[in-house]
Amino acid sequence: MHLHDEKIKFLEETANKIRESIIEMLVEAGSGHTAGPLGMADIFTAFYFHILNHDPKNPLWPDRDRLFLSNGHICPVQYAALAHAGYFTLDELKTLRKFGTRLQGHPHRGALPGVESTSGPLGSGLSQAAGYAYGARMDGKRFRVYCLMSDGEHDAGNIWEGAMFAGKYKLSNLTGLIDRNNIQIDGMTEDIMPLEPLRKKYEAFNWHVIEIDGHNFEEIVNAVEEAKAIYEKPTLVIAHTIPGKGIKEIEFDYKWHGVPPNKEQAAKFLSELRTLGGKITSEHQ
């Protein structure tokens, strides 16, 4: 599906606003994860502003698409995307991780409109999504189920149980997406616990696999459209991303996996983002 230039520009600008919100949220909270949320801003923008069939004014609409976030620690990007999409006010983003907030450190189903699953224990999201997709098919529902995962959480065995289940039952209404940013909290994924050949592993479990540039909106959208045309198996999208995308000094630095910026760093990062505007992703188009 070709995205016209005006829509790409809109998505780029929206992704940049989401990145700004992520920095503002994290510095206010004084804790949280930076690299992953920044790296996934383009993908979340593509989903909430183009791909998903959803209605922020009616978040419990029965026929909506479902998006499950498995690696819940990157929730600042989901919260920011939901707020910018109109699920709740932007002001509430500043309550991230504060006592009594709806924006908890990991997403909690029922606490916030638009959050479809509770996540925290890494590796459980794909099993949740696969079960939901299986139930939807049993009920004759036509909505689609998406599961966004990290690469590092593929160290957990439950991910592979979910992959086997989805492959066995040919859940073509399920699309998984891996944030392949190559980092986890203690270092590079291929040093901690090598994942490659990641594509071949999923293909061995009877998945259709697509690899994309996770910062290219046309590739993101086209991959999801291709998944809709696959009727005999689930689809996995391996999205190659840059952790910390948009802030040059922290890109690819695994030490920013679970560290928030301080006030001085946040001011610098926000200045950099505002200077770049929508140019962060345009170089990939």
* Beta strands 187-188 and 183-184, pairing class: antiparallel
The CA–CA distances, whole Å, from 106 to 38, 42, 73, 75, 122 equal: 16, 20, 6, 6, 11
Alpha-carbon torsion (233, 136, 179, 156), positive or negative = negative
Q: Taking a C-beta distance cutoff of 8 angstroms, is the pair 272, 16 a contact?
A: no
Measured distance between the N- and C-terminal CA atoms of the chain, rounded to whole angstroms = 14
> How many whole angstroms separate alpha carbon 218 and alpha carbon 46?
9
Per-residue pLDDT of the chain (285 residues), as tens digits, is 568 999 999 999 999 999 999 999 999 999 999 999 999 999 999 999 999 999 999 999 999 999 999 999 999 999 999 999 999 999 999 999 999 999 999 999 999 999 999 998 899 999 999 999 999 999 999 999 999 999 999 999 999 999 999 999 999 999 999 999 999 999 999 999 999 999 999 999 999 999 999 999 999 999 999 999 999 999 999 999 999 999 999 999 999 999 999 999 999 999 999 987 656 554 444
> How many whole angstroms separate alpha carbon 167 and alpha carbon 173?
12
Q: What is the reported pLDDT for 284?
A: 41
Q: What is the reported pLDDT for 252?
A: 93
> How many whole angstroms separate alpha carbon 8 and alpha carbon 222?
13
Tokens representing 183 are 């980092």
DSSP 3-state assignment of 150? strand
Q: Taking a C-beta distance cutoff of 8 angstroms, is the pair 17, 251 a contact?
A: no
Q: What is the reported pLDDT for 285?
A: 42
> How many whole angstroms separate alpha carbon 114 and alpha carbon 245?
25
Q: Taking a C-beta distance cutoff of 8 angstroms, is the pair 163, 135 a contact?
A: no
> How many whole angstroms separate alpha carbon 285 and alpha carbon 215?
8
Beta partners for residue 145, in sequence order: 66, 174
Q: What is the reported pLDDT for 283?
A: 47
Q: What is the reported pLDDT for 278?
A: 58
Q: What is the reported pLDDT for 99?
A: 95
Q: Taking a C-beta distance cutoff of 8 angstroms, is the pair 13, 246 a contact?
A: no
Count Cα atoms within 13 angstroms, Cβ side, for 10: 11
Please name each of the domains of the chain with its CATH number. 5-282 (3.40.50.970)
Q: What is the reported pLDDT for 3?
A: 87
